[in-house]
Amino acid sequence: MNKVYITGSSIICALGNNKEDSVKKIEQINDTNYSNYLEENYEDIKYYRIKKSFDSHKEKFYSILKEVVLKAIEDAKLTQEETQELHVFLGSTSMSISIVEEEHLKYKKNLSTDKIKHIGYGEIGNFIENLINSKYSSTIVQTACTSSVNAICYANDLIKNNKIKRALIIGFEFFNHTTYRGFESLMLLSPSGEYKPFDINSDGLILGEACSAVILESEKKDTSDFEILSSNNSFDSYSVTSSNPNGEVSLSCMEQALNKANISIQNLTCLKAHATGSENSNLSEVTAIDKLLKKHNQKTNVVILKPYIGHTLGACGTNEIVLLCESIKNNFLPKTINFYEKYNNINFTPLLENKYINQATILFHFIGFGGSNTSIILSNEK
């Protein structure tokens, strides 16, 4: 069975328009200047935005997608032939809804005869296939907020079992009114506009837009490349839009990922929590992590990234994997910002100061609407 490595990556998000700038910004942000960072992102609503200007949502969507894909390929140093052998996997919640909204508004203003411009999302896959001259059709993965991480897991399994040679996984989420109003109607958005995941005083989540990509291959290109050690999926049937407060499904998912990798908690450098910031999700996941650490009587650093980029929904898998892996390649484990008070009867607190390291083994955990739980373990330890 093949080993699988992340050999290339790229990202555009609220932190910056490439992964280098994004990682530098993570290191610079702290509790003192966090409110200023938020003001830079928020415009008419509390939302983490990509800082690029475009004439239309369509131009924004495809321009950013193109830039992220080509940068990831360049980062992996793929030849033209290797690029054409990429199997493309797309992970997103809203897909191209921003474009559909824009086109429908044109129809309402009598600027277009098309009431609905596109049905389905095949045009996104076709765009990527044509961009890289891929020999293969794209695969779309939509499992709510676990979409892009599940795309990584699926591609990983195919490479491990010699079904494909290499893969390009793209996670993307762009602002659209449909998604924003949906979360608003569920009363999940933070009225204060301050992200406080895992803090007992958290008042909700803040959405964000970002686009990222990773290249998976069976051979390591650089000594710092991260290997995928294991992954696991579990499903929580408690509710369509919330998690069981007992956290048992998340606990089981993380434990099984550790078992598959044949490692224990003490082998982990950190656990990257999903930590959306909503009341139910916070309590459920905090409980699961606390149970995991208490059950095995071990500790590890707990890292939370959403205060830096917002909750990027289906794209958070690739986004948070790229940001955390690149931070570690730049010799630090990011602190959790804006955390002050933990839940009652919970022993652990997230990492509150940057920790300087040069390699790591990480358990990433993600949770999505519909009950999807995904854990994936990556390592670049020698």
Tens-digit pLDDT profile for residues 208-235: 999 999 999 999 999 999 999 999 998 8
**Confidence band of 120 (pLDDT split at 50, 70, 90):** confident
What pLDDT is stored for residue 113 in this prediction? 76
Query: What contacts 139, CB < 8 A, 6 or more positions away?
Result: 87, 88, 89, 90, 125, 151, 154
Q: Above 70 in pLDDT, residue 149?
A: yes
**Confidence band of 170 (pLDDT split at 50, 70, 90):** very high
Beta strands in 190-307 (DSSP E): 210-217, 226-235, 270-272, 301-303
Expressed as residue numbers, the domain containing 47 is: 5-379
User: Do residues 38 and 206 make contact, with C-beta atoms less than 8 angstroms apart?
Assistant: no
Q: Per-residue pLDDT tens for 12-42? A: 999 999 999 999 999 999 999 999 999 999 9
**Overall average pLDDT of the 105-121 stretch:** 76
Which residue has tokens 């506009």? 193
**Confidence band of 119 (pLDDT split at 50, 70, 90):** low
What pLDDT is stored for residue 303 in this prediction? 98
What pLDDT is stored for residue 61 in this prediction? 97
User: Do residues 240 and 181 make contact, with C-beta atoms less than 8 angstroms apart?
Assistant: no
Burial environment of residue 340 by CB neighbours within 10 A (0 to 12, 13 to 18, 19 or more): exposed
What pLDDT is stored for residue 281 in this prediction? 80
Q: Above 90 in pLDDT, residue 256?
A: yes
Which residue has tokens 């709510």? 144
Which residue has tokens 């009363």? 187
**Confidence band of 243 (pLDDT split at 50, 70, 90):** confident
Identify any residues that bridge with 214 across adjacent strands, giving them in sequence order: 9, 169
User: Do residues 129 and 65 make contact, with C-beta atoms less than 8 angstroms apart?
Assistant: no
Q: Specify the DSSP element, H or E, that contains 378.
A: strand 372-379
CA distance to 2, 66, 75, 280, 344, per residue, from 126 (Å):
29, 12, 23, 38, 50
Buried b (16+ CB within 10 A) or exposed e, 198-228: bbeebbbbbbbbbbbbbbbbbebbeeebbeb
Q: Above 70 in pLDDT, residue 238?
A: no
Q: Above 90 in pLDDT, residue 93?
A: yes
Q: Specify the DSSP element, H or E, that contains 184.
A: helix 177-185
User: Do residues 90 and 141 make contact, with C-beta atoms less than 8 angstroms apart?
Assistant: yes
What pLDDT is stored for residue 241 in this prediction? 63
Buried b (16+ CB within 10 A) or exposed e, 132-163: bebeeebbbbbbbbbbbbbbbbbbbebbbeee
CA angle in degrees (0–180, nearest 5) for 362-194-34? 75
Q: Per-residue pLDDT tens for 328-379? A: 999 999 999 999 999 999 999 999 999 999 899 999 999 988 778 999 999 9
CA distance to 40, 49, 128, per residue, from 44 (Å):
12, 11, 32
**Confidence band of 242 (pLDDT split at 50, 70, 90):** low
Burial environment of residue 344 by CB neighbours within 10 A (0 to 12, 13 to 18, 19 or more): exposed
Burial environment of residue 371 by CB neighbours within 10 A (0 to 12, 13 to 18, 19 or more): buried
What pLDDT is stored for residue 104 in this prediction? 79
**Confidence band of 133 (pLDDT split at 50, 70, 90):** very high
CATH classification of the domain holding 197: 3.40.47.10
What total number of domains does the chain contain? Answer: 1
What average pLDDT does the structure give for the chain?
Answer: 94
User: Do residues 263 and 270 make contact, with C-beta atoms less than 8 angstroms apart?
Assistant: no
Q: Per-residue pLDDT tens for 259-303? A: 999 999 999 999 999 999 887 788 899 999 999 999 999 999 999
Percent helix, percent strand, percent coil in the chain, to nearest 5: 40, 20, 40
Q: Above 80 in pLDDT, residue 186?
A: yes
**Confidence band of 246 (pLDDT split at 50, 70, 90):** confident
Q: Both tokens of residue 359?
A: 């390699």
% of residues, the chain, pLDDT over 70: 98
Q: Above 90 in pLDDT, residue 109?
A: no
**How far is Cα 379 from Cα 382, in angstroms, rounded to an integer?**
9
C-alpha torsion sign, points 9, 260, 314, 91? positive
Q: Above 70 in pLDDT, residue 240?
A: no
φ/ψ of residue 4, rounded to 5? -130, 130
> What pTM, to 2 d.p., does this model score?
0.96
